[in-house]
């Protein structure tokens, strides 16, 4: 047999500094050395055999001087030695010396020490020579009756392996093991015996199971798992047996072992679609998720529930179990909670929506009373979004949910508060009956908001939807209260000069803190109501405290000033349309103009930390102009067109968002009656798999067929990298197989010389976030011989990785240094780790602001169409375009799009594409740039390199075609 055909069971790491020892010295060590010396000598011999050395002269020495030793370490080493040493002559006949070895095996099988007996039995499972096993069969059978379970367990496995490989040596093995199983008490022995019967004689295994069906739940978990495997196999082969064994699976759902419960639940769902069976399996899954502490287990089982949901008959049962699924929210892991809320949201119905809302309310209450942790804010945001979805899906529960959600406006977590406002905006647009309630709650919460973004969004919503006179007056009162005394500049100057009396200070402080309420009376004048006495407030409030809106303006944030100006303009225009009294109209408009001019005056006064921007100043000027002129066009723009724009935006979002929902299921790519096409690598575009496959293969070999680029890209050949030149003494090429976190390099090494190459070693090193798992073992290459060496590389992140190295070898009989052939670098393609992903616009903006690494890539292409360039970019980067098709349609010479992708390591990659084209020159190429942002530097740089590389390859293609 050649070295390639020899079976390999044990892998031993050969030290890098290992040198081939002197045969005479080894002989002396084996004959005259002590136990330690003999052990070391035996190790060296094992390394020599692994390196391809012949040691026939040492075989008898080992039998004479090492085999009789009783040392456990030597006995273990000998088992490895006898496993790998050649046991036959080149013609296939057994070596004479092996008769002596066989006798030593027999003695070890009768050894009083159970460890030696058991390890010898394990070793016999690896023997492939029937002549060696035949004399040992009576001793192996006798081991089934040994007092120790370790020996009996391994005896069963030895009999199983021998029966599988050479059934003529022990033809009665199934009967022997069946009798052994009936009298055995140890679970590990029973498990091995039962497993053998499953594979060797299924009928006997079934008869044993039938006899002990009631005791199954008291068996050990290792035996229960094998029983589940047998039932699954039998019921698939013979469906009529289901009724016989399904009760056993039901019993195993109550096993003490989580692994058994998981397997039993999966088997039960596969065997039966009855509602009771599905309900029992779902209950077992939920129980596993709740009780298991490992997050990976929780996520795996949740995925099983999600898969079950896709089956219509199972979905109905799952809908009834929504409340049980929500028990999983007790887990502290955010990803587990996210998956749980998603599946619950998809399963909830009108019958159990109210109970689900109650549970979500309790969860929200739990997040508000605890110390703020890293994921608490994100979990709260998740709960808010889920409640948002429930209100949109089931408007009946909105009245219960809205008051709870409005409490979040004063939350320190801006994410949850912003989600509440997004919900409020959508609810007001879709449900007219909810508007008064939402407006009332927003007005109540207005004074408690502490974030400028939340205040700004609240102002916009209230300015758009305050349509009753009393609501407008209440909002005006809240705004005046949040701004403090007007004009702002004069008030700030007085405070700075210290001219304000103590009493005035206390009143101002109360106004800012919410103690004083300024209300607009029926005739438009203001009345001040004090909840607390001035003296008590003065003692508790600092004189320097500013009301919220004034505080933002003094910090230089005048964007909220512009938003305030728009809100006041909308209020004044709507107020004038509702109230007929001219004096009241003028008074309200005048108050609005006073607020706007106060903000403008403050902006240019130099008192705030930053000066007002030109844009905000222009916006406020426009608002003043609109209020003074009140033209019909401007009234229409401010009163109706803003709201229409919001409606159009929400409608466009609704068309984009159902990704992953039921409505998004793609039509079948292949029809059920379509013929199956094999040999994909030989498929040609011109024939599409039709015709004689021999002709197709022949035309491809001759180069007459037109092979599509996509088929070639999916071929293994595209992943082969040439490592050395054809004229090098050793030729090498590698096939790079990427499998998630692992890269397997299958390297073909060819000896192109007439010499035998000894210690031929593939030495590899990595650059980037790659790690070589183990060093490839040295091999011996005969003249013009070849060998395949596999090397495993672990990947830790999405980064451009490089694998480089060389091949070193010795030439037999030649002196001097070792020979070295340097290899070409292998570049790992990051596209194997990047997958398209989706996220909301808010999440994209948040990540864009948060990520610190940016890579700007200039567009360099010969393409003349903007959409074609974007499509090519998406294909080359595996990114998903978040910008809807409607926004990208049409031709205007410009295009902007947001792209998003995720790596299998959980890293996010964002990209913003800005393209333009000169319309006056139709043949001009697309220009622009792509900005990539990522949390890690490697991800940003790698994606940029990939885009540059793909652009270069596209530019080269026309040149090749012309040549």
Query: How many separate helices (H) and strands (E) can be counted in the chain?
Result: 42, 18
Residue 463 CA: distances (Å) to CA of 168, 563, 573: 92, 9, 11
| pLDDT of res. 963 | 38
Cα 573 to Cα 170, 232, 462, 632, 669, distances in angstroms? 100, 74, 14, 10, 56
Q: Cα(405)–Cα(444) distance, rounded to whole angstroms?
A: 13
Render pLDDT for 514-557 as a digit per residue (tens, 0 to 9). 444 444 444 444 444 443 333 333 333 343 477 888 888 888 88
The helix or strand, by DSSP H or E, that contains position 836, with its residue range, turns out to be strand 834-836
Q: For 246-295, how does the pLDDT look when each residue is reduced to its tens digit (9 = 90+)?
A: 778 787 887 888 888 888 888 888 877 788 888 888 888 888 888 888 88
Torsion angle (degrees, nearest 10) of CA 778, 779, 785, 787: -70
Q: Is the pLDDT of residue 684 over 70?
A: no
Q: Distance between CA atoms of 706 and 715, rounded to whole angstroms?
A: 15
* Closest residue by Cα to residue 547 from 569, 566, 564: 564
756, pLDDT greater than 70: yes
Q: Which stretches does DSSP call E strand in 685-729? A: 720-722
Which pLDDT band holds residue 141 (cuts at 50, 70, 90)? confident
Strands 834-836 and 894-903: antiparallel
Buried b (16+ CB within 10 A) or exposed e, 195-211: bbbbebbeebbbebbee
Q: How far apart are CA 717 and CA 558, in angstroms?
A: 61
Pick from 16-20, 397-401, 823-827: least confident: 16-20
Per-residue pLDDT, averaged over 862-884, amounts to 86
The arithmetic mean of pLDDT across residues 392-416, rounded, is 75
pTM over 0.85: no
| pLDDT score, position 911 | 92
| Range with the poorest average pLDDT among 699-703, 724-728, 784-788 | 699-703
Which of 387, 429, 389 lies closest to 406, judged by CA?
387
Question: What is the CA 42 to chain-centroid distance, rounded?
Answer: 48
Question: What are the angstrom distances between the C-alpha of 239 and each of 233, 246, 509?
Answer: 10, 11, 81
Q: What is the pLDDT of residues 40-56, one digit of tens each?
A: 888 888 877 776 677 76
Mean pLDDT of 81-95: 77
Residue 762 bridge partners (DSSP): 807
Q: Render pLDDT for 176-189 as a digit per residue (tens, 0 to 9).
A: 888 887 777 788 88
Q: Which secondary structure element, helix H or strand E, spans residue 737, and what is its range?
A: strand 730-739
Give the C-alpha separation, 704 to 710, whole Å: 18
Is the model more confident about 618 or about 20? Answer: 618
For 296-349, what is each residue's pLDDT tens digit? 888 888 888 888 888 877 888 888 888 888 888 888 888 888 888 888 888 888
pLDDT (0 to 100) of residue 822: 92
pLDDT-derived band of residue 680, with 50, 70 and 90 as boundaries? very low
Please determine, for residue 192, whether its predicted confidence score (pLDDT) is greater than 50.
yes
Residue 736: pLDDT band (50, 70, 90) is confident
Question: Residue with structure tokens 């409606």?
Answer: 647
* pLDDT value, residue 540: 35
Q: How far apart are CA 388 and CA 405, in angstroms?
A: 9
Mean pLDDT of 420-424: 80
| Closest to 76 measured CA to CA, from 153, 15, 131, 10 | 10
CA nearest neighbour of 619 among 678, 565, 567, 671? 565
Three-point CA angle 712, 714, 720, nearest 5°:
80
Q: Please list, residue by residue across 836-872, b when 16 or more beta carbons sit within 10 angstroms of its beta carbon and e when fewer do.
A: eebbeeeebeebeeebeeebebebebebeebbebbeb
Taking the mean position of all CA atoms in its chain, how far away is CA 216? 38
| Rounded Cα–Cα distance for residues 705 and 701 (Å) | 8
Can you read off the two tokens belonging to residue 239?
Answer: 């469906």
pLDDT digits (tens, 9 = 90+) for 467-485: 888 888 888 888 888 888 8
pLDDT at 943 over 60: yes
DSSP, collapsed to helix, strand or coil, labels residue 881 as strand
Give the span between the Cα atoms of 875 and 869, in whole angstroms. Answer: 10
What tokens does 39 get?
């052990």
d(CA 412, CA 417): 8
SS (H, E, C) 421-442: HHHHHHHHHHCHHHHHHHHHHH
pLDDT in tens, 813-856: 556 567 899 999 888 777 777 888 888 887 888 889 888 889 99
Query: What is residue 698's predicted lDDT score, i.e. its pLDDT?
Result: 55
Work out the pLDDT band at 750, boundaries 50, 70, 90: very high
Whole-number percent of the chain with pLDDT over 70: 82
Evaluate whether 451 touches 545 at the Cβ level (below 8 Å). no
Of 225-234, 670-679, 943-952, least confident by mean pLDDT is 670-679
Query: Average pLDDT in the 898-909 region?
Result: 85
Residue 140: closest CA among 127, 156, 119, 129 = 156
- Of 124-133, 140-149, 623-632, 698-707, which gets the smallest average pLDDT? 698-707
Mean pLDDT of 569-577: 86
Computed from CA positions of residues 76, 78, 82, 86, in that sequence, does the dihedral angle turn out positive or negative?
A: positive
Whether residue 749 is predicted with pLDDT greater than 60 in this model: the reply is yes
Weakest mean pLDDT among 125-129, 406-410, 610-614? 406-410
Higher pLDDT among residues 517 and 77, named by residue: 77
Residue 675 confidence (pLDDT): 62
Q: Which residue has the tokens 């009946």?
A: 396
Q: What is the pLDDT of residues 348-388, one digit of tens each?
A: 888 888 888 888 888 877 776 655 566 777 788 788 888 88
pLDDT band at 931, cuts 50/70/90?
very high
Whole-angstrom Cα Rg for the chain: 39
**128: confidence class by pLDDT, cuts 50, 70, 90:** confident
3-state helix, strand, coil in the chain (%, to 5): 60, 10, 30
State how far the Cα of 293 lies from the Cα of 218, in Å rounded to an integer.
24
d(CA 786, CA 808): 15
DSSP state letter for 256: S
Mean pLDDT, residues 488-504 taken together: 68
Q: What is the pLDDT of residue 960?
A: 39
């Amino acid at each position: 047999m050649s070295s390639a055909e020899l079976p390999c069971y044990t892998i031993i790491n050969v030290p890098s500094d290992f040198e081939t020892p002197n045969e005479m010295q080894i002989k002396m060590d084996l004959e005259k050395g002590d136990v330690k010396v003999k052990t070391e000598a035996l190790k060296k011999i094992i390394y020599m055999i692994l390196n391809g050395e012949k040691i026939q002269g040492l075989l008898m020495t080992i039998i004479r001087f090492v085999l009789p030793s009783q040392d456990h370490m030597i006995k273990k080493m000998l088992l490895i030695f006898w496993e790998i040493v050649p046991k036959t002559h080149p013609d296939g006949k057994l070596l004479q010396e092996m008769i002596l070895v066989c006798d030593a095996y027999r003695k070890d099988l009768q050894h009083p020490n159970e460890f030696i007996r058991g390890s010898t039995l394990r070793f016999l499972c690896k023997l492939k020579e029937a002549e060696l096993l035949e004399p040992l069969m009576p001793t192996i059978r006798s081991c089934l009756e040994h007092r120790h379970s370790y020996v009996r367990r391994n005896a069963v496995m030895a009999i199983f392996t021998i029966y599988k490989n050479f059934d003529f040596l022990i033809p009665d093995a199934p009967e022997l093991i069946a009798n052994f199983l009936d009298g055995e008490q140890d679970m590990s022995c029973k498990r091995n015996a039962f497993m053998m019967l499953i594979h060797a004689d299924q009928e006997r295994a079934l008869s044993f199971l039938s006899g002990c069906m009631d005791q199954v739940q008291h068996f050990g978990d290792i035996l229960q798992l094998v029983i589940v495997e047998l039932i699954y196999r039998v019921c698939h082969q013979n469906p009529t047996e289901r009724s016989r064994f399904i009760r056993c699976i039901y019993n195993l759902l109550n096993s003490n072992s989580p692994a058994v419960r998981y397997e039993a639940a999966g088997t039960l769902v596969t065997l039966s679609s009855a509602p009771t069976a599905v309900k029992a399996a779902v209950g077992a899954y939920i129980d596993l998720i709740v009780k298991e502490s490992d997050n990976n287990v929780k996520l795996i089982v949740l995925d099983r529930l999600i898969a079950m949901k896709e089956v219509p008959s199972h979905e109905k049962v799952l809908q009834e179990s929504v409340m049980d699924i929500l028990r999983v929210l007790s887990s502290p892991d955010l990803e587990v909670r996210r998956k749980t809320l998603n599946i619950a949201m998809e399963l909830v119905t009108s019958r159990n929506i109210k109970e689900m809302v109650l549970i979500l309310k309790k969860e929200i209450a739990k997040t508000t009373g605890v110390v703020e942790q890293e994921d608490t804010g994100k979990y709260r945001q998740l709960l808010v979004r889920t409640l948002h979805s429930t209100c949109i899906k089931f408007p009946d529960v909105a009245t219960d949910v809205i008051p709870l959600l409005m409490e979040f406006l004063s939350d320190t977590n801006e994410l949850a508060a912003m989600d509440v406002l997004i919900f409020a905006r959508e609810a007001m647009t879709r449900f007219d009956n909810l508007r008064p309630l939402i407006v009332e709650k927003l007005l109540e919460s207005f004074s408690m908001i502490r974030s400028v973004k939340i205040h700004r969004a609240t102002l916009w919503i209230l300015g758009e939807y305050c349509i009753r006179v009393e609501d407008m007056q209440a909002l005006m009162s809240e705004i005046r209260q949040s701004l403090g005394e007007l004009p702002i500049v004069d008030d700030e100057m007085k405070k700075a000069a210290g001219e304000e009396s103590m009493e005035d200070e206390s009143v101002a402080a109360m106004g800012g803190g919410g103690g004083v309420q300024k209300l607009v009376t029926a005739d438009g004048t203001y009345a001040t109501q004090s909840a607390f006495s001035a003296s008590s407030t003065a003692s508790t409030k600092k004189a320097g405290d500013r009301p919220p809106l004034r505080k933002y303006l003094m910090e230089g944030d005048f964007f909220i000033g512009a938003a305030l100006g728009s809100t006041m303009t909308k209020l004044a225009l709507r107020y004038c349309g509702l109230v007929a009294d001219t004096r009241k109209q003028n008074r309200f408009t005048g108050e609005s103009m006073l607020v706007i001019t106060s903000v403008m005056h403050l902006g240019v006064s130099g008192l705030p930390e930053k000066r007002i921007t030109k844009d905000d100043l222009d916006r406020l000027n426009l608002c003043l102009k609109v209020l003074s002129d009140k033209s019909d066009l401007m009234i229409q723009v401010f009163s109706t067109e803003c709201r229409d724009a919001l409606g159009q935006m929400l409608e466009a979002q609704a068309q984009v968002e159902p990704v992953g929902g039921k409505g998004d299921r793609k039509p079948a790519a292949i029809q059920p009656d379509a013929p199956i096409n094999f040999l994909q690598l030989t498929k040609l575009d011109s024939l599409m798999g039709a015709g004689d496959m021999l002709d197709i293969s022949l035309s491809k070999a001759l180069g007459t067929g037109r092979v599509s680029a996509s088929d070639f890209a999916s071929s293994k050949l595209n992943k082969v990298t040439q490592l050395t030149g054809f004229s090098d003494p050793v030729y090498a090429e590698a096939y790079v197989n990427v499998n998630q976190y692992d890269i397997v390099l299958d390297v073909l090494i060819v000896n192109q010389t007439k010499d035998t190459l000894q210690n031929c070693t593939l030495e590899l090193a990595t650059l980037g976030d790659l790690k070589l798992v183990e060093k490839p073992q040295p091999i011996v290459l005969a003249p013009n011989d070849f060998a395949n060496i596999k090397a495993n590389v672990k990947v830790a992140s999405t980064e451009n990785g490089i694998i480089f190295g060389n091949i070193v070898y010795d030439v037999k009989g030649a002196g001097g240094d070792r020979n070295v052939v340097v290899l070409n670098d292998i570049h790992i393609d990051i596209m194997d780790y990047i997958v398209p992903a989706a996220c909301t616009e808010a999440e994209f903006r948040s990540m864009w602001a948060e990520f610190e690494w940016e890579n700007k890539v200039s567009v360099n292409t010969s393409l003349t169409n903007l959409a074609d360039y974007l499509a090519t970019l998406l294909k080359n980067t595996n990114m998903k375009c978040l910008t809807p098709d409607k926004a990208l349609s049409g031709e205007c010479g410009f295009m902007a799009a947001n792209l998003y992708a995720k790596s299998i390591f959980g890293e996010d990659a964002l990209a913003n594409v800005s393209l333009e084209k000169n319309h006056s020159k139709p043949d001009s190429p697309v220009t622009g740039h792509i900005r990539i942002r990522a949390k890690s530097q490697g991800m940003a740089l790698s994606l940029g390199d990939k885009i540059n590389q793909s652009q270069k390859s596209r530019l080269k293609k026309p040149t090749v075609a012309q040549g």
